[in-house]
Structure 1
């Protein structure tokens, strides 16, 4: 049996799915981006008058996505330290990987205690964001 989790503390999913699903002591988070849960704004984005993204700040987006992941973890009864695996999607690996890695290091200063991580370069995400995380946590009973 599994339990779906939704929270107002994280941005609403952009489709018909939960923020997370718990199965036993494992928690699987749906892809989470840096949108603001209150107004759907995107940290670090600047737009042209026609709504296209003019430029973005990957460090601001990375900090926002980590805050959103933390909100879903907490709503699920998990903690930051419970993360065991993170898949990172970047829309511009060449431009953003180094800056993202710095922010990762701020949030996980001890590599031995950090979750496993895979980082992928992709062409686009479903909203005008430059980063999305897919996470798995192990909840302590």
Structure 2
């Protein structure tokens, strides 16, 4: 089963890649590495998921938001490569959670994206990662995740 079939089996589809909100690219290639800019949780209706995890957003809801971010990152990869089968390995994720100072479940939240990548790419989706809390994120989004991905030519 290829990565597109795995997405379909989970009832998921790639969203449209949003327009960058600033003076940057969603993806920069250096050699066989792609550096993906941080993405936020954009739902199917095109709305950003907002709020403070640990206050107005539960850990479980934020996990789902991190999965949405993962789908957005996959859409950026597909847009850049034309075919997700060209992904050799997901190398690294940096996951940022808009959380209260008392919140401590950042790794569980970012697992929403990590679990998706392992489901889609198998062992090639298993990556190094940091999951950190932030006092705020742009637009009050709940989660932002960036990625480094190795590709095959």
- Give unpaired runs (5+ residues) of structure 1: 1-7, 47-52
Alignment match of 1:132 (pick from 136, 144, 153): 144
Aligned positions of 1:57-68 closer than 5 A: 57-68=61-72
Return the alpha-carbon distance in structure 2 between the equivalents of residues 104 and 113 of structure 1. Answer: 8
Shift of 1:30: 0.9
- Give unpaired runs (5+ residues) of structure 2: 1-14
Secondary structure of 2:93's counterpart equals: strand
Aligned positions of 1:17-96 closer than 5 A: 17-36=24-43, 40-43=46-49, 45=50, 55=57, 57-77=61-81, 79=84, 82-92=89-99, 93-96=103-106
Flag the 1:14–1:140 CA change in 2: closer, same or farther, 3 A.
Answer: same
Q: RMSD value over aligned CA atoms? A: 2.9
Return the alpha-carbon distance in structure 2 between the equivalents of residues 28 and 71 of structure 1. Answer: 14
Identify which of structures 1 and 2 has the higher relative contact order when contacts are C-alpha pairs closer than 8 Å and 6+ apart.
2
TM-score under structure 1 normalisation? 0.71
Count of matched residue pairs: 126
Structure number having the greater helix percentage: 2
Shift of 1:115: 1.3
TM-score under structure 2 normalisation? 0.67
